[in-house]
């Protein structure tokens, strides 16, 4: 029994590894548009490259090899979409970033105002606050909120990744 991937699956594995790098490259091209368009363009590019690889690779194509490669590519796209959407549209990380940028503890109302850039946020999405406190990224003390060392590190990492991918 041969456990090695076929040619199409090997191409899909290589393209899956290259997919985040392609997104990074597209991030530095202003003509690619917004985040959603950039991600769709990356997905289409990877699928087209996979089709070209299936045609150009020497040897006979087997249906299960090509189908397995498509499934590998689909998995890579879903995984990258989760990470990409957290970075591009991550509400929770944006809340954390607003708290870190304040550089001092804030009340819940001040945090909402910092997040909304001066606007009022009625309910302030209580479940997101519980998530940040529950993960240990934010602590509450004396009615005020402050980021923990972990929270500051995550916010800085998110900012670095957003800047490197052209999202922030």
| Whether 8 contacts 57, CB under 8 Å | yes
Residues 6+ apart with CB under 8 A from 44: none
| 100 vs 163, residue with greater confidence | 100
| Predicted pLDDT of residue 103 | 86
**d(C-alpha 113, C-alpha 106), whole Å:** 10
DSSP annotation of 165: T
| Predicted pLDDT of residue 125 | 57
Of the candidate ranges 54-63, 114-123, 135-144, 153-162, the one whose mean pLDDT is the lowest: 114-123
Q: For 41-69, how does the pLDDT look when each residue is reduced to its tens digit (9 = 90+)?
A: 999 999 999 999 999 988 788 899 999 99
| Whether 46 contacts 72, CB under 8 Å | no
Average pLDDT over residues 73-97: 79
pTM: 0.58
Domains and CATH numbers, the chain: 7-87 (no CATH), 91-164 (1.10.10.10)
């Amino acid at each position: 029994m041969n456990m090695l991937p076929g040619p199409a699956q090997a191409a899909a594995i290589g393209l899956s590894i290259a997919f985040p790098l392609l997104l990074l490259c597209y991030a530095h091209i202003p003509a690619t548009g917004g985040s959603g368009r950039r991600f769709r363009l990356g997905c289409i590019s990877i699928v087209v490259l996979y089709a070209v690889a299936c045609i150009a690779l020497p040897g006979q194509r087997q249906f299960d090899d090509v189908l397995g490669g498509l499934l590998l590519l689909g998995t890579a796209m879903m995984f990258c979409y989760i990470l990409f959407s957290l970075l591009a549209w991550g509400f929770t990380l944006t809340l954390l970033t607003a708290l870190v940028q304040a550089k001092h503890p804030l009340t819940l109302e001040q945090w909402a105002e910092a997040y909304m850039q001066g606007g009022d946020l009625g309910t302030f999405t209580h479940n997101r606050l519980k998530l940040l406190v529950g993960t240990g990224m934010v602590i509450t003390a004396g009615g005020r909120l402050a980021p923990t060392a972990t929270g500051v590190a995550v916010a800085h990492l998110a900012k670095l990744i957003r800047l490197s991918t052209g999202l922030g």
